[in-house]
Amino acid sequence: MRNRGVDVLVFVIMVSNRSLLEKPMPRHPDTKQRIERVALGLFAAKGVDATTTKDIAAGAEISEGAIYRHFEGKDALIWHLFSTNYAALAGHLDEILDATDDFSRRVELAVDLFCGMFDRDPDLFRFILLAQHGQLDKVPDGMANPVNSLERLFRDGIDAGLCRGDNATLLAGIALGIVLQPATFIIYCRLDGPLTAHAPSLAEAIRKAVMS
């Protein structure tokens, strides 16, 4: 029987709990929001290293100095975008884990979350993938972390005798690879989107890969 609380959670994720993952922009975004939105697009298109504050200022139609009224510099802007959205993703995963103990359903909802994030905001998704290599070592202990949340998912599965092996970190990496590689294929036009159309197949692939 379906868990009524899980159904409510799905509705919340899809409709009301948008926050930074969906990143809706107001009709007349303020300067800080415009900087963030333009920076995300440029970081995703050109890469983090190749994008300059001059590029961001031109895209946002502001002076370069205006960026420094909101951020100490490009590195601070990158960290703000990464840490805020990385923590927000972890928070949504934790909500899923808190809503149900059903392992299979947890996997489905986690996959739906990642796929929905990609389809709503591919620039944000690409940015997190590109920026993580230079930002993960800055993540402090105690900060909400989606990898930790996935490890919790698979550790619970191992403890319940549902998952093979005893390495939750390895299983989290396998699951991420199953979702992230098709997303990358969509970005480079090797796979038709949206990613949510493939969510059931991705969830099933994860279950087959990790369940004993």
Query: Domains, the chain, ranges and CATH?
Result: 74-210 (1.10.357)
pLDDT > 60? residue 198:
yes
Instruction: Give CA–CA dist 184/125, Å, rounded.
Output: 10
Q: Answer yes or no: are the C-beta atoms of 117 and 125 closer than 8 Å.
A: yes
pLDDT > 50? residue 179:
yes
Note if the bond before 194 is cis, omega within 30 degrees: yes
Q: Would the pTM of this model clear 0.75, i.e. be above it?
A: yes
- pLDDT, residue 28, reads 46
- pLDDT, residue 22, reads 47
Share of residues in the chain with pLDDT > 70 (%): 86
Q: Label residue 57 by pLDDT band (50, 70, 90).
A: very high
- pLDDT, residue 204, reads 98
Instruction: Average the pLDDT over 40-49 and give the result.
Output: 92
Condensed to tens digits (0 to 9), the pLDDT of residues 129-154 reads: 888 888 888 888 888 889 999 999 99
Q: Answer yes or no: are the C-beta atoms of 32 and 118 closer than 8 Å.
A: no
Instruction: Average the pLDDT over 45-67 and give the result.
Output: 94
Q: Answer yes or no: are the C-beta atoms of 96 and 109 closer than 8 Å.
A: yes
Q: What totals of helices (H) and strands (E) does the chain contain, helices first?
A: 11, 0
pLDDT > 90? residue 91:
yes
Write the Ramachandran bin of 161: left for phi over 0, alpha for psi from -120 to 50, otherwise beta.
left
- pLDDT, residue 14, reads 41
Q: Label residue 67 by pLDDT band (50, 70, 90).
A: very high
